[in-house]
Amino acid sequence: MAIYGINGIHTVLYGVDDVALCTRFFDDFGLPLLEKSDQHAHFLLDEGSNVIIRHISDPAIPKSKLVGTGVQEVIWGVNTEEGLARLLKDLGRDREIRIDEEGTAHCFTDDGMAIGFRIFRKNPVVSSVDPANSPGNINRVNKHRRWIARARPKTIQHVVFQVPDTEASWTFYRDRLGFRLSDVQRTFGIFGRADGAHDHHNIYFLNAHLPFPGLDGKPRFDHVNYGVDDVDEIMIGANYMERKGWPKSAWGLGRHRIASSLFMYLPCPTGGQAEYGADSDHIDDNWVPRTWNPMFGAWSFVTNIQPFMVDAAWDFEVVDGYTPSRQAPALVPPTADAAAPEPSNDAIVPVPVRQA
């Protein structure tokens, strides 16, 4: 049951060093441009979500504890006026809330990050994924797959921040905003889902102390995931960006085990990365969170294997406290200390899912 009905990301506000360059990047990336000027750009996606670009020194950019350029504020959408009022009343107990002329409420999280809330009535989004053929399973006869020239992201699926204390950052979203735990990537980070949304995750807190390039222990923006239809659109988008002269992805095409999603991360002049994403898990409150070996959860395949990816892993288990009771039937009876299945050429055992 939803606590406040936060239904996803309404707006991401980027603070950047070069507005014109970043506007050109996202225009080539495929975001629909609504308006632009020397001072800003506004992209409007099919679902009604917004991407705003301003200079990092613009007065509209909130002064938070975030270091560097990239997304400086996330505005979360709420389903109803009643849910928004209850949320703001609770947050107003211990922090200042500013309401702007458009009715958006702005404040700061416990870890000093800028955040906002407003009513968001999402537009219906229609995708047209081509039927797929496989041996013995023919769904497309006498017909080519679609030929498209460019990617056109329709949704904002999630945002990722590097944070010094993943548990502390997550605790605010869980306890004060009603977010649900999706999964835990051991030592790496925590995936959370808004209570009125069904994407596997809407936010991920990445451990800023990991020994990887770009991580220095400070709170920084990492990336936004922009949703497209399928793998074809991901690759067409990536090819188009390369033709336009933008840097290639270091990892290339991949699929995560956590969330099952296809991905392509592209270096972005805003700072951080812009991700094409598709085919993520769709979950609700019957989902049972898991804790993953980080290497096992990170991908099931990827084009360019990095050195730290070479050693295989096969390890996940249900998060303590989320194991279904014995009276609640499950597709696979999970236990917190159950050994993960061994890999094979057969289908993977279904993820434990508690039935309503």
In a domain, 324, yes or no: no
Q: How many Cα atoms sit within 13 Å of 1 on the Cβ side? A: 1
pLDDT at 324: 55
Higher pLDDT, 356 or 301: 301
Structural domain that includes position 32:
6-122+152-318
Instruction: Tell me the C-alpha distance between 115 and 57, whole Å.
Output: 18
Choose among 295, 320, 319: nearest CA to 309: 295
| CATH value at residue 77 | 3.10.180.10
pLDDT reported for residue 237: 98
CB within 8 A of 281, min separation 6: which ones? 200, 259, 260, 261
Let me know: does 178 contact 221? Beta carbons within 8 Å.
no
Alpha-carbon distances, residue 130 vs 125, 138, 147, 191, 236 (angstroms):
16, 12, 10, 30, 15
Burial class (CB in 10 A: 0-12, 13-18, 19+), 316: buried
Task: Judge whether 38 lies within some domain.
Answer: yes
Q: Note the pLDDT tens digit of each residue in 14-35.
A: 999 999 999 999 999 999 999 9
Taking the CA of residue 25 as centre, how many other CA atoms within 13 Å lie in the half-sphere pointing to its CB? 21
Dist CA 126 CA 47 (whole Å): 10
Does residue 227 surpass a pLDDT of 80? yes
Whether 243 is covered by a domain: the verdict is yes
**For residue 134, how many other CB atoms are within 10 A of its CB?**
7
320 falls in which pLDDT band (50, 70, 90)? Answer: confident
Average pLDDT over residues 76-87: 97
**Would residue 53 count as lying in a domain?**
yes
Q: Which residue has the tokens 């301003």?
A: 54
Mean pLDDT of 311-319: 80
- Within-domain flag for 136: no
Amino acid, res. 204: Y
- Residue 285: C-alpha distances to residues 189, 199, 349 (Å): 21, 12, 21
Model confidence band, residue 306 (pLDDT cutoffs 50, 70, 90):
confident
The CB density around residue 235, as the number of other CB atoms within 10 Å, is 16
Closest CA to 73 of 161, 182, 188, 181: 161
In a domain, 171, yes or no: yes
Whether residue 309 has pLDDT greater than 90? no
Strands of 56-127, DSSP E: 70-78, 98-99, 105-108, 114-119
* pLDDT score for 273: 98
Give me the number of domains the chain comprises: 1
Question: Which residue in 315, 309, 336, 314 sits closest to 325, CA to CA?
Answer: 336
User: 221 and 69 in contact (C-beta within 8 Å)?
Assistant: yes
For 218, other C-beta atoms within 10 Å of its C-beta total: 14
Residues contacting residue 3 through CB under 8 Å, at least 6 positions apart: 178, 195
Least reliable range by pLDDT among 131-135, 168-172, 302-306: 302-306
- Which residues lie across from 233 on neighbouring strands? none
Query: Are 230 and 151 contacting, i.e. CB atoms less than 8 angstroms apart?
Result: no
Answer yes or no: is 326 within a domain.
Answer: no
In a domain, 1, yes or no: no
- Residue identified by tokens 């000027």 is 37
Does residue 132 register a pLDDT over 50?
A: yes
Tell me, what's the pLDDT at 312? 67
